[in-house]
Structures are given as structure tokens and as C-alpha cells.
Amino acid sequence: MSCLPQPGDVVVCDELVHNSVRMGCRLGRQKETVLFRHNDFQHLETTLEGLRSRGPGSAPANIFVAVESVYSMDGDLAPLREILGVAAAHGALVIVDEAHGTGVFGEQGRGLVSALNLEAHPALLAGMHSFGKAFGAHGAVVVGSATLKDFLVNYARPLIYSTSLPLDSLACIRCAYLMQASADDRRKRVLDLADAFQSLLSDADVNRWAGGTAPPPPLDAKDIPRHRSPIQSVLIAGNERCLLVADSLRALGFDVRAIRKPTVAEGTERLRITLHAYNTDEEVESLARHIRRLTANKGNSADKARARTSEEDEGGTRASGGGLARDSILLLGESATRARL
């Protein structure tokens, strides 16, 4: 994002795209960066129509659209087919961040773009695949045309002036990459756990969608359900209350993180939960049960909530080994240093 856009170009980003993309846009030379409503491809179409309808001298030379395949806070999936279709109709090029899709979706974990058979779409410019999530390593690759790769090698300053990965990191990445070929059972397992977790909270008074980020219309039956990913969130408004519930769950052995303002907008503080293929059905059921209990009465004071957390202590459902991973190489949905739920 810092080197592709040129003067006269415009970058259009999903409003919830990762902050690293926004930081890259700040370094770019485009004349303008525009946001469209999260996962709203109709608003994207309106935005692109407005840009293309500008008069001579004002219309952008090129339009780049930046989205994530799986969003890191709510775990919701982008409507990639629709986004690419809209982009193609208006001569825009799409860049997809697959950080949370790599290793989880598609044949051999190639990502959501591959899972939807969109790799050859004419509007797809590039995909970014991170090795810091499912691969349990660090670093990333950009997948695109030979022309794109030549351009980045010669003009991407963050790449040119950075140190290459050490041999041990490359070996770790290669091992994880090779393991992807035989990890279909783990991919299915972690997505089945996501379905189970959502089902366990479906009839509870638990808000799993942030304000302004309501789930988009469902995809066709042949496609992947829009929120079937290892990343799950439970909204608990207020920094103090969100921290309290997260601390209570950690005391019970669950590695659940509180995401608070200013990382997310005020009122959309949430628990961020990352499911892993090695989690048991009993662990997921226990987590859902404790979340329901801890959030049952939203009017309770912090003291009452603390009292509730001490009522039950299910030692048998706590994370074994102090919460360390059983799988050191391939953890679907998060890095090897972030284990358990």
C-alpha cells in the first residue's frame, strides 16, 4: 500500500480494514484514501461510481480496493465474490489481506480467495498471506503477477530496506507449509468448533455483532457461511466490565482476551476468542456456559460479577499445561505462542 498507488490514484478501504493497511496508505502517494462501510459491497459500488463520475482532471487514474478476507476483531468473512464483481465493473483492482484466512480456508489452506475459486479473477491484483497466524511463525508473502512482484522488489522500500528472514524462520515456515497439505481434518475441526460455539450462544442474551457491523446477507448455500471462522467475539460494552469477564474466564483456565477502547469503538468492547483445532468439545461447551453465566445480568455491579466468578471452578475443563499449545507448528487460527481458547 505504501508503493503501489501513484499520484492521481485513489485507494478505497473497508472501514474496518487492519490498521497496518491504513498505515501503509499514509505512506502512499495516492491523492485520496476513501472508506466504504464494512462488508457493504453496495456502498462500495456507490463509492466507485462516484469516483469514476468525476470530471476530467478529477477522476482517479487507478483505484485500489483494500479488504481483508477474514476480519481480525469479529472473525466475519468478506463478500469477496461481490466485491471483486463490483471492482471489475468499475475498473478497480482489489488487494486482499489473507492473514486470518491462510491455513484455515481453501484447499491446503490457501485462503478464502482460493476456497471461493477467485484466484484468477481479473479484478484481483494481489493477496497477502501471513505466516504469523496459522503457520505459527512470522513473515508474509505477496501473491500476484510477475509484473507486480518485480515492481515490489524494485520499489517497495519497506521490503528493500528490511532484513531478510533468518534460516531457522524459513525452515519453520517451510515445515508449516508442507503440513498444510495434510491438515484438512484440522481445518474442518476448527470450523466445526466455531459452528458449535455459535450454536451454544444462539439463544442467549449475548451480542456477537458490533454496532454498525451487522452480519451481511447470507451467501448462497454452496458458499462458506459468512461468520464461520476460528475468530469469535462477544460484545461486552465498557472497558471495566469487559476486563472483568475476561479476567474471570482466565481464572477458569480460558485464554480469552478483552479488546477495549480505543482499539475498538466505545460501546463495542468485546471478548476476542480464537478457537483451535485441538480444543475439545467439552472445553468449548464450558467456555460458552461460563460466558452465558457471566453476562446473564448486564445490570449487575462489578462486585456481584466477581462473586459469580468464584461460585464455580471447573478444574477439569481448564487448559492443560498452563495454557501452552499441544501443536507447536500448525495452530489453525492463531500463532503457536497463543494457545488454548
- The answer on pLDDT for 305 being more than 70 is no
Q: What's the length of the chain?
A: 341
- The answer on pLDDT for 223 being more than 60 is no
pLDDT at 226: 55
Does 296 reside within a domain?
A: yes
Rank 176-180, 306-310, 314-318 by mean pLDDT and report only the highest: 176-180
Does 193 reside within a domain?
A: yes
Q: What are phi and psi of 158, to 5 degrees?
A: -60, -30
* Sheet strands (E) in the chain: 10-14, 32-36, 63-68, 92-97, 124-130, 140-144, 231-235, 257-259, 270-274
Per-residue pLDDT band for 297 (boundaries 50, 70, 90) equals low
pLDDT, mean of residues 179-184:
91
Phi-psi region of 276 (alpha: psi -120 to 50; beta: other; left: phi over 0): beta
Does 29 reside within a domain?
A: yes
pLDDT at 60: 87
**DSSP structure string for 152-185:** HHHH-HHHHTSPPPPHHHHHHHHHHHHHHTT-HH
What percentage of residues in the chain have a pLDDT greater than 90? Answer: 67
- What confidence tens digit (pLDDT) does each residue in 123-160 have? 999 999 999 999 999 999 999 999 999 999 999 998 89
- The answer on pLDDT for 185 being more than 80 is yes
DSSP state of 264: S
- What confidence tens digit (pLDDT) does each residue in 232-267 have? 999 999 999 999 999 999 999 999 999 999 988 899
Distance CA 341, CA 117 (A): 31
- The answer on pLDDT for 77 being more than 60 is yes
Question: What CATH number corresponds to the domain at position 262?
Answer: 3.90.1150.10
pLDDT at 208: 55
Residue 87, C-alpha cell as written in the block: 471492482
Of the residues 176, 197, 229, which one is the last residue of a structural domain?
A: 176
- 254 and 152 in one domain? no
> Helix (H, G, I), strand (E, B), or coil: what is residue 182?
coil
Q: What are phi and psi of 68, to 5 degrees?
A: -105, 150
Count of alpha carbons within 13 Å of 68, Cβ hemisphere only?
22
- What confidence tens digit (pLDDT) does each residue in 260-274 have? 999 888 999 999 999
- What confidence tens digit (pLDDT) does each residue in 2-19 have? 999 999 999 999 999 999
- What confidence tens digit (pLDDT) does each residue in 110-123 have? 999 999 999 999 99
- 208 and 302 in one domain? yes
- 20 and 148 in one domain? yes
- 30 and 155 in one domain? yes
Q: What is the identity of the amino acid at 219?
A: L
Residues 6+ apart with CB under 8 A from 291: 201, 204, 206, 234, 245, 249, 271
Of the residues 115, 143, 176, which one is the last residue of a structural domain?
A: 176
What is the number of structural domains in the chain?
2
Of the residues 157, 176, 195, which one is the last residue of a structural domain?
A: 176
- 225 and 78 in one domain? no
Does 3 reside within a domain?
A: no
What percentage of residues in the chain have a pLDDT greater than 70? Answer: 79
Strand-pairing partners, residue 68, are 97
Residue 57, C-alpha cell as written in the block: 482532471
Between the CA atoms of 97, 101, 106 and 109, what dihedral angle is there, to the nearest 10 degrees?
110
- 167 and 27 in one domain? yes
Residue 107 contacts residue 114 (beta carbons within 8 Å): yes
Residue 270 contacts residue 239 (beta carbons within 8 Å): no
> Where is pLDDT greater, at 174 or 336?
174
Residue 51, C-alpha cell as written in the block: 469516483
Residue 214 to residues 18, 114, 172, 264, 319: CA-CA distances in angstroms?
18, 25, 38, 15, 32
- 156 and 133 in one domain? yes
CA-angle at 203, arms to 301 and 227, nearest 5°? 100
Q: What is the identity of the amino acid at 203?
A: D
pLDDT at 56: 83
- 311 and 189 in one domain? yes
- 193 and 172 in one domain? no
Does 339 reside within a domain?
A: no
Does 5 reside within a domain?
A: no
- 188 and 172 in one domain? no
- 61 and 43 in one domain? yes
Q: What is the pTM of this model?
A: 0.82
Distance CA 143, CA 211 (A): 33
- What confidence tens digit (pLDDT) does each residue in 39-66 have? 999 999 999 999 999 988 888 899 999 9
Does 41 reside within a domain?
A: yes
Does 340 reside within a domain?
A: no
The whole domain housing 280 covers 184-323
Q: What is the identity of the amino acid at 270?
A: R
Mean per-residue pLDDT of the chain? 83
Question: b/e map of 290-320 (b: 16 or more CB within 10 Å)?
Answer: bbbebbeeeeeeeeebeebbeeeeeeebbbe
pLDDT at 279: 96
The neighbour count for residue 3, using CB atoms within 10 Å, is 18
pLDDT, mean of residues 203-208:
62
- The answer on pLDDT for 32 being more than 90 is yes
